[in-house]
Amino acid sequence: MAKADRTRQFIIEKTAVLFNTKGYSGTSLSDITSVTGLTKGSIYGNFANKDEVAIAVYEYNSGMLSDKLDEAISITGSAAEKLIAAVNFYRDNWRAEFEGGGCPILNASVEADDSLPFLREKVRESIRSWGLKLDKIIREGQECGEFKTDIVSRDYAYTIITLVEGGIMLGKITGDEKHLFLALDRILRIIKEDIINNI
**Domain map of the chain by residue range?**
57-195
Closest listed residue to residue 15, CA positions, set 67, 57, 60: 57
Rounded distance, CA 132 to CA 15, Å? 29
Average pLDDT of every residue of the chain:
93
Amino acid residing at 134? L
Residues 18, 35: contact at Cβ < 8 Å? yes
pLDDT band, residue 199 (cuts 50/70/90): low
Rounded distance, CA 116 to CA 113, Å? 7
**Which residues, 6+ apart, have CB-to-CB distance to 21 below 8 Å?**
100, 101
Q: What is the pLDDT of residue 1?
A: 66
Q: Global pTM? A: 0.91
Q: What is the pLDDT of residue 84?
A: 96
pLDDT of residue 177 exceeding 70, the answer is: yes
- The tens digit of pLDDT for each residue in 125-163 reads 999 999 999 999 999 999 999 999 999 999 999 999 999
Q: What is the pLDDT of residue 15?
A: 95
- The tens digit of pLDDT for each residue in 8-50 reads 999 999 999 999 999 888 999 999 999 999 999 999 999 999 9
Span 57-195 CATH architecture: Orthogonal Bundle (1.10)
